[in-house]
Amino acid sequence: MNHCPYCQADIEGNWQQCPLCKGSLEKRTDKKASDPVVTPKY
């Protein structure tokens, strides 16, 4: 799970940058139940 500090989204998958805002992602090991998860359907 990766986290985008710019748009505050958690991103699943092997993305190098945020698919929403193109910002840099940070590795995230914990997951909060209230955090949104973005899963692109490509």
- Whole-angstrom distance, CA of residue 39 vs CA of residue 9: 10
Summarize pLDDT for 1-41 with one digit per residue, the tens.
899 999 999 999 999 999 999 999 999 776 555 566 777 77
- Whole-angstrom distance, CA of residue 8 vs CA of residue 13: 16
Residue that is written with structure tokens 């993305």 in the block: 15
- Whole-angstrom distance, CA of residue 4 vs CA of residue 10: 6
Q: What is the pLDDT of residue 39?
A: 76
Report domain extents, the chain: 1-30
Q: Are 14 and 8 in contact (CB under 8 A)?
A: no
